[in-house]
């Protein structure tokens, strides 16, 4: 069965259009299903500017459907890996919407915290370009991979902050919980951390993730409740995002319990323990951006 979007009978007048070659300025005619076209004047191959490669980021039949994927798209596939992992996480948990929702919120907070922390590193690099302790961006075309200062007192032992690693770990951090409950009748952190890495590895390898990404994500999943002495930025961001989500869910559950008790006259309603949350934010979070996010969401 061919994708309906690729059938010419469903095309409208915008399905064939001209685009300006960025190299020489000549007009290049595109059909909507062209992945790329070569300029007849200068010979440069140009990616279709209107083509949506979203489904190709996770579909194993992408090349059969739309042809050879352009080089520019392949370079972005690491960034798109997180979307494919999110799909696999939802497939794995099936109708367990509570755990799907938890992982999704952790990923959302992790992306915000990660971008904020990486933004600080970019600012440091711009303000102090002459200092050898600050390394410039490793891949300017990929904003999710940014070099950190090598000084471990600033961030940690990691040389990189990588949103692909952070978000894959966020979606998969609790992936071992079903096996933990099946084998040990417990969802205790130690069992989640024991059972999670093999499942995460299987998912990532199936999606064709690079070995270094598989290795780091599985390492994070395998100790995501227990920080080590010197942690990577990727771990710190995931840890803070998970902690925010856990505290948020705990606070909501407590408020609901108190509301029920008040409703049935068991006791007067009490405010959630904001002072306790304040202490946790001060002592337990690993990044400044995580603390700021927690204060905004929880207090």
Phi then psi for residue 130, to 5 deg, are -85, -15
> In the prediction, which pLDDT does 8 show?
62
Whether 132 has a pLDDT exceeding 60, the answer reads no
More confident residue, 289 or 81: 289
> In the prediction, which pLDDT does 63 show?
56
Distance of alpha carbon 88 from alpha carbon 103, whole angstroms: 12
Neighbours of 22 (CB within 10 A): 12
Mean pLDDT of 274-283: 92
Secondary structure, 3-state, the chain: CCCHHHCHHHCCHHHEEEEECCCCCCEEEEECCCCEEECCCCCCEEECCCCCCCHHHCCCCHHHHHCCCCHHHHHHHHHHHHHHHHHHHHHHHCCCHHHHHHHHHHHHHHHHHHHHHHHHHHHHHHHCCCCCCECCCCCCCCCCEEECECCCCCCCCCCEEEHHHHHHHHHHCCCCHHHHHHHHCCCCHHHHHHHHHHHHHHHHHHCCCCHHHHHHHHHHHCCCCCCCCCCCHHHHHHHHHHHHHHHHHHHHHHHHHHHHHHHCCCCCCCCCCHHHHHHHHHHHCCCHHHHHHHHHHHC
Per-domain residue ranges of the chain: 4-75, 79-237
> In the prediction, which pLDDT does 112 show?
96
Query: CB–CB of 127/60 below 8 Å?
Result: no
Q: What is the pTM of this model?
A: 0.67
Whether 138 has a pLDDT exceeding 50, the answer reads no
Residue 137 pLDDT grade (very low, low, confident, very high; cuts 50, 70, 90): very low
Mean pLDDT of 43-71: 63
Point out the least confidently predicted range of 15-19, 53-57, 199-203.
Answer: 53-57
Point out the least confidently predicted range of 114-123, 143-152, 159-168, 215-224.
Answer: 143-152
Distance of alpha carbon 219 from alpha carbon 214, whole angstroms: 8
> In the prediction, which pLDDT does 194 show?
97
> In the prediction, which pLDDT does 158 show?
41
b or e along 260-277 (b: 16 or more beta carbons within 10 Å of the residue's beta carbon)?
Answer: eeeeeeeeeeeebeeeeb
With the C-alpha atoms ordered 248, 227, 143, 164, is the resulting torsion angle positive or negative? negative
Distance of alpha carbon 162 from alpha carbon 160, whole angstroms: 6
Longest dimension (CA), the chain: 81
Query: CB–CB of 224/243 below 8 Å?
Result: no
Across the chain, mean pLDDT equals 80
> In the prediction, which pLDDT does 238 show?
98
pLDDT, one tens digit per residue, over 206-256 is 998 889 999 999 999 999 999 999 999 999 999 999 999 999 999 888 887
């Amino acid at each position: 069965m061919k994708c309906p979007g690729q059938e010419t009978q469903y095309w409208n007048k915008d399905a064939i259009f001209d685009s300006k070659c960025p190299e020489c300025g000549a007009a290049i005619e595109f059909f909507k299903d062209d992945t790329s076209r070569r300029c007849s004047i200068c010979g440069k191959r140009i990616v279709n500017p209107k083509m949506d490669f979203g489904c190709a980021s996770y579909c194993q039949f992408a090349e059969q459907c739309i042809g050879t994927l352009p080089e520019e798209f392949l370079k972005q596939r690491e960034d798109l890996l997180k979307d494919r992992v999110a799909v696999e996480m939802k497939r794995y948990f099936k109708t367990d919407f509570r755990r799907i929702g938890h992982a999704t919120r952790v990923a959302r907070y992790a992306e915000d915290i990660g971008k904020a922390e990486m933004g600080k590193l970019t600012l440091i690099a711009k303000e102090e370009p002459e200092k050898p302790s600050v390394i410039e961006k490793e891949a300017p075309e990929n904003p999710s991979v940014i070099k950190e200062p090598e000084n471990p007192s600033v961030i940690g032992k990691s040389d990189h902050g990588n949103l692909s690693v952070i978000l894959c770990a966020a979606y998969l951090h609790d992936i071992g919980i079903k096996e933990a409950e099946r084998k040990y009748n417990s969802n205790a952190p130690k069992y989640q951390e024991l059972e999670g890495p093999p499942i995460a590895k299987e998912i990532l390898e199936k999606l064709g993730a690079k070995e270094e990404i598989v290795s780091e994500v599985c390492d994070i999943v395998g100790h995501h409740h227990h920080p080590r002495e010197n942690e990577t930025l990727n771990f710190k961001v995931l840890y803070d995002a998970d902690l925010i989500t856990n505290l948020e869910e705990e606070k909501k559950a407590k408020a609901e319990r108190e509301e029920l008790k008040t409703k049935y006259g068991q006791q007067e309603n009490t405010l959630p323990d904001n002072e306790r949350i304040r202490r946790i934010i001060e002592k337990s979070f690993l990044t400044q951006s995580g603390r700021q996010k927690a204060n905004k969401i929880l207090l």
